[in-house]
Amino acid sequence: MLRFNYSIRAHEFLNDPERAQKLRWMKEAHVSTLWIDGYFFGHYDSTWEEMVQVKQLLETEGFEAQVVSVPVGHPGNSLDPNDESLDLKIPDHWSYRIDRYGKPVHYCACINDAMIRDNREAMLRWKELGVTRVFFDDDLRMGNWGHEITGCFCDSCLAAFNEKYRHHFDRVQLTARLFAASPSEEDHRLQEEWQEDICQKVKRFLVETKVDGIQSGIMVMHDGCRYHGIDLPLLRQEIPDLLVRVGESHFCDKDFDASSEKLSLLQSITAHSKLAKGLELYSESTVFPANSLTPENLIHKIELEIAAGLRNIFLMSGTWFLSEPYWKAVKESYPLLSYLAEICDKQA
Ligand SMILES: [Zn+2]
């Protein structure tokens, strides 16, 4: 059975004069779960009262209400590149992730005690709110997109790594070995240790923020893997009821149109689905920035997701609310999308 999900901002939705119409669009598009923006890199997106009010409102309207947070931060403005008023900075008592060249990564945090403590506090708040599922959106990872090993090279991460593996590297020495043009066998071993270390950080975050009664979920980026601290089998082992949103990217026509890009999208879905076998999987059916993926392409992307085995379709669009043509396209395609899911299930 297909389930459609979407995310909204509490304070905007409560004050939206077009709210009734938007609720109707979402219902007609068969959206059953709405994920309310919760805790974004150290800032609550809405007040407690707004969260309570919007949850009640959504439930009265027949939706399931859950929370989505952005725990670590995100490189650049992933919410709305046209809105310069958005505060993307992490709190002063958190630390920025430091890249291999010694530069802070804006706006992403080092996964350390302070940010884990604050994120756990947020989870306890959501428990009080009465939600049962919380997704951690990008960037619950240790590095930006790419096909290289990443991680945090801050002094404290380096010291902990050296102590754990009995090394004595400074950042320059370590990166020379991790990114050696012709790595020796010893360099390969070091690369393994480093990846293990950064994967343990993401695992630690999920384990220490886990709250009884709430299922946690990780949203993985396109091609996200151990290079970025994401080890799905390790996470599955530690958190058997983990929710996983696979990584897809391809949020705009420019990135989606070429056949090679569709193949790359499918490869990432398949890789993550295989590593997260047995867990509840969600799609990354994102349109970003606003209007950049046509409604026709969004439907085509959903068809690919369904064919690849995904049944929880997660629509997203940053802080912009999807406009009417998108909801109309989902509504009109729903019978065909359901039929496609049914055929695929029969053949599986
Ligand atoms: Zn660090």
Q: Is residue 82 scored above 90 in pLDDT?
A: no
Distance 96 CA to ligand 1 centre (A): 7
Q: Three-state SS across 285-306?
A: EECCCCCCCCHHHHHHHHHHHH
* % the chain with pLDDT above 70: 98
| Alpha-carbon gap, residue 318 to 251, rounded angstroms | 11
Q: Which two tokens stand for residue 272?
A: 């993550």
Q: What is the whole-number distance in angstroms between the Cα of residue 14 and the centre of ligand 1?
A: 38
CA of 110 to the centre of ligand 1 (A): 4
Q: Mind listing the pLDDT tens digit for each residue in 263-274?
A: 999 999 999 999
Instruction: Measure 97 CA to ligand 1 centroid, in angstroms.
Output: 5
Ligand 1 mean position, distance from CA 228 (Å): 14
Residue 77 has pLDDT above 70, yes or no: no
Residue-wise DSSP of 70-122? ESSB-SS--S-TT-TT---PPPTTS-EEE-TTS-EEEEEE---HHHHHHHHHH
The pLDDT, as a whole number, for residue 79 is 64
pLDDT tens track for 158-174: 999 999 999 999 999 99
Domain topology for 3-87+109-147+200-347: TIM Barrel (3.20.20)
pLDDT, tens digit, 9 for 90 and up, residues 212-252 = 999 999 999 999 999 999 999 999 999 999 999 999 999 99
Cα separation, 142 vs 161, whole angstroms: 14
> What is the Å distance from ligand 1's center to 95 Cα?
7
What backbone torsions phi and psi does residue 165 show, to the nearest 5 degrees? -105, 10
pLDDT band per the 50, 70, 90 thresholds, residue 319: confident
Candidates 246, 250, 252; CA nearest to 260 is 250
Dist. CA 215 → ligand 1 center (Å) = 27
3-state SS assignment for residue 261: helix
Q: Most distant CA pair in the chain: distance in Å?
A: 63
Distance CA 260, CA 283 (A): 19
Residue pointed to by tokens 């809405």 = 46
Distance from the CA of 148 to the center of ligand 1, in angstroms? 18
Is pLDDT at 93 greater than 80 in this prediction?
Answer: yes
Average pLDDT of the chain, as a whole number: 96
CA–CA distance from 45 to each of 38, 107, 290 (Å)? 6, 16, 20
Task: Sketch the domain layout of the chain as residue ranges.
Answer: 3-87+109-147+200-347
Ligand 1 centre and the CA of 310: distance in Å?
A: 34
Question: Measured in angstroms, how far is the CA atom of residue 201 from the centroid of ligand 1?
Answer: 10
CA–centroid distance, residue 83 to ligand 1 (Å): 29
In this structure, what is the dihedral angle of CA atoms 192, 193, 199, 201, given to the nearest 10 degrees? -160
Amino acid residing at 330: V
Query: What's the token pair of residue 137?
Result: 């959106």
Query: How far apart are the CA of 99 and the centre of ligand 1, in A?
Result: 9
Q: Ligand 1 center to residue 139 CA distance, Å?
A: 15
Give burial (CB, 10 Å; 0-12/13-18/19+) of 234: middle
